[in-house]
């Protein structure tokens, strides 16, 4: 949860969360932020409004609002209500609206928030100057609303609220604000913050847990607004709530399944990755110890399921005893990772510890041996995926030498991993000579059975170093900044190809992969649009895939979000790729203009083998659907997987089952089939 405290600060998300179209302007009438809903309502894009000395909207506002009204707004601690203002939409339609305006100070500058309380939000137009009444009526249908008096007593609420909270009108009146929330420390902390904000004339917004009359928990997206009752002349507060319990519940379940290995209670690889990434950020030194149980599969064949389980649990117990407080994870059926500051000889001592404390199956000691690799941060490797790759390389050399050993990352492996420098050098040349190629992998729409989109994937075969797979190429390119060049190369190729297909009569969208690094460039949106113009490719044929890591960064950086919005407004669709492996929050799906979820292929690959994965994938499809997103499954290799995913409600399927990534000509053959 990250509530936006002191929420009236310059943040587009705040505007977008308000119940009415809204803008923020400075003292001179320049619009600083133009909300998304204002954009939809009036038809002016952000670029039509921001940065223009006058805009059709501000021009009409400034004409109608007198100097006195502005002074009144500046002096009023609460919202000022103004009726009967005419504004014009982009298509020049006149709208008569009421305004709720409030001034606030940001970085010593006086700014004004203006909300347009449009006629369609008013169920029954009133002639009174009662802002609270108008607000209440207009919000009745979409939100749960609760009105509090200045001491925090509930004085009113709507039907939606009563339905979910299970209170009866008689009983709830006179209860306090605090009684609506669970009785625990965390809740107390947040409710006190909300209360403090409201009393300082500030709005608060965030996700928060509430309880019904019978003590049943539910989740809401809460917007708390200070208002004013003109009849009693008293301060009041309004709570606007949207029920998000369904999405929250699914998220919690998913997090549970996604983070913990249920058999051992250890964390799983996803969680480990998060922890390691954090440790790396904090520059904490550690050894990454990868332990793999040798010949696990033959051992397994000798045993039935309960004793196989017993073996894993007993092994985990020994790891816990020996490594004590170190961080431990189970990342695969027979693979474990221990993160420890302990020395190499101590780690290697685990082998003799295992011999001294054998694992019994009945009365027989099970002869297990393990292969292990020690990779150090920061000396040996510097990212989670490098640590993993280096470990796997080490383990396989240990195995080849007979196993039952734990060794440190060898010099030879070091050398192999240092291909990076070479790749970088050759890549520069390849980009220069346009030696990269693009293959396209089709996606099939489940409902129609037709290919409706393709994903563009980069391919590179260098004459000196041979084939370099994207998994190796992209991280190096990201590190060196060459990803921008790859990105614009791919974009141009994809647009050209999309247009060729369009001219040939195929209705095919092309998806490109994008790295957040490309969007850190403030000109990204512009250069994408320029490429569309240059190639003549219509914007609605282009999709851009971003990852969760990208989404997290984008969420925090307004200029990235703005660029995404700009592209979305032109008709470009954003796809959240590799969904499910980075679980932070689903919040950014509400904030970013994401249209499609693509569930990571690691889930598809274990789908038929694991009931847990089935639950997880079904949950993810449902989560996507509950947010009205299109859901794609990738890495689909078999008809069985496709069938199951279809029954889960997946919209689109991509994978070898349909086709590997192929040339444009081969795509056309598939289309004509």
Name the residues that contact Ca ion, by CB under 5 A.
513, 545, 577-578
Pick from ligand C2E, Ca ion, none: which does 338 bind, CB < 5 to 8 A by kind? Answer: none
Which range binds ligand C2E by CB under 6 A, 224-232, 283-291, 467-475, 643-651?
Answer: 467-475
CB of 542 to ligand C2E, least distance (A): 13
The 3-state DSSP class for residue 393 equals helix
Map tokens 């070898």 to a residue. Answer: 656
State the Cα–Cα distance between residues 312 and 331, nearest whole angstrom.
12
Could you tell me if 38 and 90 are in contact, meaning their C-beta atoms sit under 8 angstroms apart?
Answer: no
Could you tell me if 558 and 11 are in contact, meaning their C-beta atoms sit under 8 angstroms apart?
Answer: yes
Considering only residues 513 to 552 of the shown chain, the ones binding ligand C2E according to CB under 6 A are 513-515
Pick from ligand C2E, Ca ion, none: which does 515 bind, CB < 5 to 8 A by kind? Answer: ligand C2E
Structural tokens at position 251: 């998220």
CA geometry: angle at 426 spanning 496 and 667, to 5°? 30
Which range binds ligand C2E by CB under 6 A, 198-206, 293-301, 328-336, 465-473?
Answer: 465-473
CB of 656 to ligand C2E, least distance (A): 4
577 is a contact residue toward ligand C2E (CB under 6 A): yes
Which range binds ligand C2E by CB under 6 A, 167-175, 213-221, 258-266, 655-663?
Answer: 655-663
Could you tell me if 460 and 473 are in contact, meaning their C-beta atoms sit under 8 angstroms apart?
Answer: yes
CB of 483 to ligand C2E, least distance (A): 6
434 is a contact residue toward ligand C2E (CB under 6 A): no
Cis peptide preceding 378, ω within 30 of 0: yes
CB of 607 to ligand C2E, least distance (A): 12
403 is a contact residue toward ligand C2E (CB under 6 A): no
Which range binds ligand C2E by CB under 6 A, 85-93, 211-219, 376-384, 635-643?
Answer: 635-643
656 is a contact residue toward ligand C2E (CB under 6 A): yes
Could you tell me if 437 and 657 are in contact, meaning their C-beta atoms sit under 8 angstroms apart?
Answer: no
State the Cα–Cα distance between residues 129 and 134, nearest whole angstrom.
9
CB of 441 to Ca ion, least distance (A): 9
If the CB atoms of residues 485 and 513 are measured against Ca ion, the closer one turns out to be 513
Pick from ligand C2E, Ca ion, none: which does 661 bind, CB < 5 to 8 A by kind? Answer: ligand C2E
CB of 582 to ligand C2E, least distance (A): 13
Cis peptide preceding 365, ω within 30 of 0: no
> Which member of 94, 108, 463, 471 binds ligand C2E (CB under 6 A)?
471
Pick from Ca ion, ligand C2E, none: which does 145 bind, CB < 5 to 8 A by kind? Answer: none
Structural tokens at position 60: 């009409």
Size of the site for ligand C2E (CB under 6 A): 23
Backbone angles phi, psi at 549, to 5 degrees: -60, -45
Measure the N-to-C terminal CA separation of the chain; round to a whole number of Å.
49
637 is a contact residue toward ligand C2E (CB under 6 A): yes
CB of 576 to ligand C2E, least distance (A): 11
> 6: phi > 0 → left, psi -120 to 50 → alpha, else beta; which?
left
CB of 459 to ligand C2E, least distance (A): 7
Backbone angles phi, psi at 537, to 5 degrees: -85, 130
3-state SS of 471-514?
HHHHHHHHHHCCHHHHHHHHHHHHHHHHHHHHHCCCCCEEEEEC
If the CB atoms of residues 54 and 469 are measured against ligand C2E, the closer one turns out to be 469
| Signed CA dihedral, 420, 425, 428, 431: sign only | negative
454 is a contact residue toward ligand C2E (CB under 6 A): no
> Which member of 205, 441, 485, 561 binds ligand C2E (CB under 6 A)?
441
Characterize the bridge pairing of strands 359-361 and 364-366: antiparallel
DSSP track, 273-290? HHHHHHHHHTT--EEEEE
Q: List Cα–Cα distances, 314 to 261, 264, 306, 340, in angstroms.
A: 15, 9, 12, 20
CB of 564 to ligand C2E, least distance (A): 16
Could you tell me if 377 and 341 are in contact, meaning their C-beta atoms sit under 8 angstroms apart?
Answer: no
The 3-state DSSP class for residue 620 equals helix
State the Cα–Cα distance between residues 524 and 657, nearest whole angstrom.
35
If the CB atoms of residues 45 and 457 are measured against ligand C2E, the closer one turns out to be 457
Residues whose CB falls within 8 Å of the CB of residue 504, separated by 6 or more in sequence, listed in order:
668
54 is a contact residue toward ligand C2E (CB under 6 A): no
Pick from Ca ion, ligand C2E, none: which does 17 bind, CB < 5 to 8 A by kind? Answer: none
CB of 499 to ligand C2E, least distance (A): 18
Which range binds ligand C2E by CB under 6 A, 41-49, 97-105, 376-384, 466-474?
Answer: 466-474
Considering only residues 588 to 617 of the shown chain, the ones binding ligand C2E according to CB under 6 A are 601
458 is a contact residue toward ligand C2E (CB under 6 A): yes
Interface contacts to ligand C2E, rule CB under 6 A: 441, 457-458, 469-471, 474, 483, 486, 490, 513-515, 577-578, 601, 634-637, 655-656, 661
């Amino acid at each position: 949860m990250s509530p936006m405290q002191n929420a009236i600060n310059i943040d587009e998300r705040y505007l977008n969360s308000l119940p009415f179209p809204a803008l923020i302007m400075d003292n001179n009438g320049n619009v600083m932020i133009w909300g998304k809903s204002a954009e939809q309502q009036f038809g002016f894009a952000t670029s039509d409004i921001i940065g223009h000395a006058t805009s059709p909207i501000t021009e009409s506002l400034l004409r109608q609002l007198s100097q006195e009204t502005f002074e009144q707004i500046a002096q009023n601690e609460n919202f000022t209500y103004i009726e009967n203002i005419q504004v014009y939409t982009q298509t020049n339609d006149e709208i008569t609206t009421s305004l709720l305006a409030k001034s606030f100070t940001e970085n010593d500058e006086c700014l004004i928030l203006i909300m347009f309380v449009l006629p369609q939000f008013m169920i029954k137009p009133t002639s009174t100057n009662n802002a609270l009444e108008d607000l209440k009526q207009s919000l009745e249908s979409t939100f749960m609303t609760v009105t509090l008096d200045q001491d925090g007593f509930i004085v009113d609420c709507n039907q939606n609220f009563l339905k979910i909270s299970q209170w009866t009108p008689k009983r709830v009146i006179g209860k306090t604000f605090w009684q609506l929330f669970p009785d625990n420390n965390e809740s107390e902390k947040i409710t006190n913050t909300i209360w403090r904000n409201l009393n300082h004339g500030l709005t608060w917004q965030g996700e928060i847990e509430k309880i019904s009359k019978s003590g049943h928990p539910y989740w809401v997206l809460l917007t708390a607004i200070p208002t004013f009752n003109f009849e009693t002349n008293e301060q009041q507060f309004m709570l606007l709530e949207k029920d998000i319990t369904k999405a929250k519940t699914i998220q919690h379940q998913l997090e549970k399944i996604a983070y913990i290995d249920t058999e051992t209670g250890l964390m799983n690889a996803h969680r480990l990755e998060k922890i390691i990434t954090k440790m790396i950020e904090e520059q904490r030194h550690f050894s990454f110890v990868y332990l793999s149980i040798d010949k696990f599969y033959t051992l397994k064949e000798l045993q039935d399921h309960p004793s196989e389980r017993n073996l894993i649990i007993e092994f985990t117990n020994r790891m816990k005893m020996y490594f004590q407080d170190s961080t431990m994870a189970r990342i695969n059926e027979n693979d474990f990772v221990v993160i420890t500051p302990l020395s190499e000889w101590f780690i290697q001592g685990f082998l003799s510890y295992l011999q001294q404390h054998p694992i019994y199956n009945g009365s027989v000691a099970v002869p297990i041996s393990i292969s292990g690799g020690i990779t150090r941060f920061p000396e040996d490797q510097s990212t989670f995926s490098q640590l993993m790759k280096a470990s796997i390389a080490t383990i396989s050399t240990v195995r080849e030498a007979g196993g039952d050993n734990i060794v440190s990352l060898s010099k030879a492996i070091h050398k192999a991993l240092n291909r990076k420098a070479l790749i970088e050098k050759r890549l520069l040349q390849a980009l220069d000579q346009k030696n990269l190629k693009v293959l396209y992998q089709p996606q099939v729409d489940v409902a129609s059975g037709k290919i409706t989109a393709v994903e563009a994937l980069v391919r590179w075969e260098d004459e000196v170093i041979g084939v370099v797979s994207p998994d190796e190429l992209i991280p190096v390119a990201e590190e060196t900044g060459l990803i921008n060049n790859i990105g614009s190369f791919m974009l141009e190729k994809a647009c050209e190809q999309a247009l060729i297909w369009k001219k040939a009569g195929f209705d095919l969208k092309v998806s490109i992969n994008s790295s957040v690094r490309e969007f850190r460039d403030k000109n990204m949106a512009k250069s994408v649009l320029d490429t569309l113009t240059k190639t003549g490719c219509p914007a609605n044929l282009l999709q851009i895939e971003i990852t969760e890591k990208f989404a997290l960064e984008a969420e925090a950086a307004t200029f990235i979000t703005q660029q995404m919005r700009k592209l979305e407004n032109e008709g470009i669709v954003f796809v959240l790729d590799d969904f499910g492996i980075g679980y932070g929050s689903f919040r950014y799906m509400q904030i970013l203009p994401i249209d499609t979820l693509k569930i990571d292929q690691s889930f598809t690959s274990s789908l038929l083998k694991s009931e847990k994965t089935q639950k997880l994938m079904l949950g993810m499809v449902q989560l996507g659907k509950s947010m009205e997103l299109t859901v794609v499954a990738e890495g689909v290799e078999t008809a069985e997987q496709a069938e199951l995913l279809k029954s889960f409600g997946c919209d689109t399927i991509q994978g070898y089952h349909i086709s590997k990534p192929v040339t444009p000509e081969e795509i056309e053959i598939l289309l004509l089939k």
